[in-house]
Amino acid sequence: MANEPQGATIEDYLLEERRFPPSEAFKAQTLAASPFLYDDADQDWQGFWAKQAGELLDWDSEWHTILEWDLPFAKWFVGGTLNACHNAVDRHVLAGRGDKVAYHWEGEPGDTRTITYSDLLVEVQRFANVLKGLGIVKGDRICIYMPMVPELPIAMLACARIGAPHSVVFGGFSPDSLIDRINDAECKVVITADGGYRRGAPSMLKPNVDMALASTPTIEHVVVVQRVDEPVEMVDGRDRWWHDLMEAAEPECPCEPMDSEDLLYLLYTSGTTAKPKGIMHTTGGYLTQVAFTHKYVFDLHPDTDVYWCAADIGWVTGHSYIVYGPLTNGATSVIYEGVPDAPARDRLWDIAERYGVTILYTAPTAIRTFRKWGTTEPAAHDLSKLRLLGSVGEPINPEAWMWYQEHIGGGRCPIVDTWWQTETGAIMISPLPGATTTKPGSATFPLPGIGAEVVDDAGNPVERGGGYLTLTRPWPSMLRGIYGDPERYRETYWSRFEGRYFAGDGCKVDDEGYLWLLGRVDDVMNVSGHRISTTEVESALVDHPAVAEAAVVGANDAVTGQAIMAYVIPRGTHTASTELGEEVRQHVATKLGPIARPKTVIFTDELPKTRSGKIMRRLLRDVAEGRALGDTTTLADPGVVEEIKRRASESPTED
């Protein structure tokens, strides 16, 4: 039976009582051991952010106003000027830290590069001059479509250096996605590569660019990095090799002073309509919050830490926590080009051991995959230098959290489970390691300076139970709008609840005020009038010792409105059977109550995921309801869905 107080909107079934206070050893060295950050922010939240901006960044000129707020439009540090590239690179070299490693880069085939801050400065200045030589001036938009190679952050920083906003497109996206993004931003240049390596073979990019450019009239030049050395078509007068342009470029390029509110980058995210949304992030506020969160959420000690965010730079996680946050803080980071199981399933642990990684930030999807593979691979490597673990991208199941803590963190590493979005730009809800007692599966509390509340359908605060996660005041790294469409920005994020930002996530509050993310409200299932979160049912499923990973969807049902359909990957030596399916169903009923028991359990070897690891529940709903499949072009393995369809047709439906 749900533990459901009056007024809650999404029901609360899962009870998690395990808790992990900070160890005395970690508290002794952490940056956030005392509550002073929260105290400062509670007393004066605008002044708190101004203090962070002053301490963490170099400014060319000071701001005269901390915040101008004309709901829903914000301007932070008004009148201040600075340059993101100077803050990320130049100032460290000028301070005598040029020999410090900025990036340990490793390609999937095993090739490596060590890039110091001095190396980065040389490369960035040359490429900034390349862009100038192609006619790019401040304000021009640049499309970047690349694999995870060092030239990707170099290109981003070069854009920032001369004031040309970049629009990075994930390398797994199709030509149609490129067309939409290039045309919406009216980009003048595309920076790409012949391809990158994926699972031991070249994954080509330049042919996708060629297909897209037939429909992108604003593109004048294409710059191509030679990575896989496969033959590609080069159009004379339009396409140029990166290495040729760099060889001819001048070595010095000054930073362009940028207004705090000048556009730093666009990053497109899917919309409910066909047209993607160009999320706008500006310079001063964004850089302030990514530097602050990177420093305190990850307890960064730049002289001793080796930090690894195992995301792709094509997503906001990579923008904020591979490029701008770590570099602004003078960190040493790891970048890896390929997949976790190439050439073997221990690739990530091998990299972590060889580079002495101390901080690892990855996604729950990856953690569940590692858990499915077992403990042999991580146990074969020395991970003793790890001292902090992070989770990003979606809610993490408590059992995946516990596996991560025990088998990767050795039981000694705090876990920071972070909630944020492309739109928020930086982490918003997270433990502060050394200061916060954690609970497996909970992102805990809003960070200092952040206002967040769970509300019901009417917009009233929910003190206990489930509802909608809203943000109650502006924050420095917030999106400044949707490119070219301010009304869509207002309608999408600020119209559902008056005076509140809402981007579609469900959340529950427990008795101690801890926040538990419940996934997208779109994924909440309505079973006999009960609104049940997919996250809670999936957490109950993976709590069963025979289940490695699971996804659930609500399918139309004539009796209950929706029925819960569970797609389950067996763990280890467990095999699919009718008996195991019934056992798993009963386990969910025991954990959450009979109303949350899946109607059907479908066993599968894999789930349909994008190349970024996101489970495509839309396709699982198509399977459950017998519809023709929607768009499968972004799947990492399109064949997975056909296999699931076959198994679904063979699975018994329970009463």
The pLDDT assigned to 1 comes to 36
Would strands 333-336 and 101-106 be described as parallel, antiparallel, or unpaired?
A: parallel
d(CA 500, CA 513): 20
Strands 307-309 and 359-362: parallel
Of 467, 562, 573, nearest in space to 516 by CA: 467
Task: Report the candidate in 576, 565, 625 with the shortest Cα–Cα distance to residue 601.
Answer: 565
Number of other residues whose CB lies within 10 A of the CB of residue 370: 25
Angle at CA of residue 423, ends 418 and 429, nearest 5°? 25
Backbone angles phi, psi at 504, to 5 degrees: 105, 10
Rounded-to-integer distance, Cα 268 and Cα 169, Å: 8
Residue-level pLDDT at 562: 83
Whether residue 613 contacts residue 363, with contact meaning beta carbons closer than 8 Å, is answered with: yes
Omega of the bond leading into 202 within 30 degrees of 0 (cis): no
Q: Within 10 A of 104 (CB to CB), how many other CB atoms are there?
A: 21
Which regions of the chain are under pLDDT 50? 1-6, 272, 655
Closest CA to 67 of 81, 86, 49: 49
d(CA 325, CA 169): 19
Residue with token string 């101390």: 358
How far is C-alpha 39 from the chain's CA centre? 29
Q: Tell me the C-alpha distance between 18 and 542, whole Å.
A: 16
Q: Is the pTM of this model over 0.85?
A: yes
Q: Which ranges of 218-303 would DSSP assign to H, the alpha helix?
A: 242-248, 284-297
3-state helix, strand and coil shares in percent for the chain, rounded to the nearest 5? 35, 25, 45
Q: What is the pLDDT of residue 646?
A: 75
Residue closest to 550 by CA, chosen among 644, 642, 650: 644
Q: Are 412 and 27 in contact (CB under 8 A)?
A: no
> What is the tens place of the pLDDT at every residue in 39-54?
999 999 999 999 999 9
Residue 579 tokens, joined? 């008996």
Q: Where are the alpha helices (DSSP H) in 329-469?
A: 347-355, 364-373, 376-379, 398-403
Q: Answer yes or no: are the C-beta atoms of 577 and 652 closer than 8 Å.
A: no
CATH for 524-650 is: 3.30.300.30
Q: What is the pLDDT of residues 588-634, one digit of tens each?
A: 988 888 888 999 999 998 888 877 677 888 888 888 777 766 655 55
State how far the Cα of 417 lies from the Cα of 468, in Å rounded to an integer: 19
Predicted pLDDT of residue 5: 43
Distance of CA 157 to the CA centre of its chain: 20
For the stretch 165-214, pLDDT in tens is 999 999 988 898 899 999 999 999 999 999 999 999 999 999 999 999 99
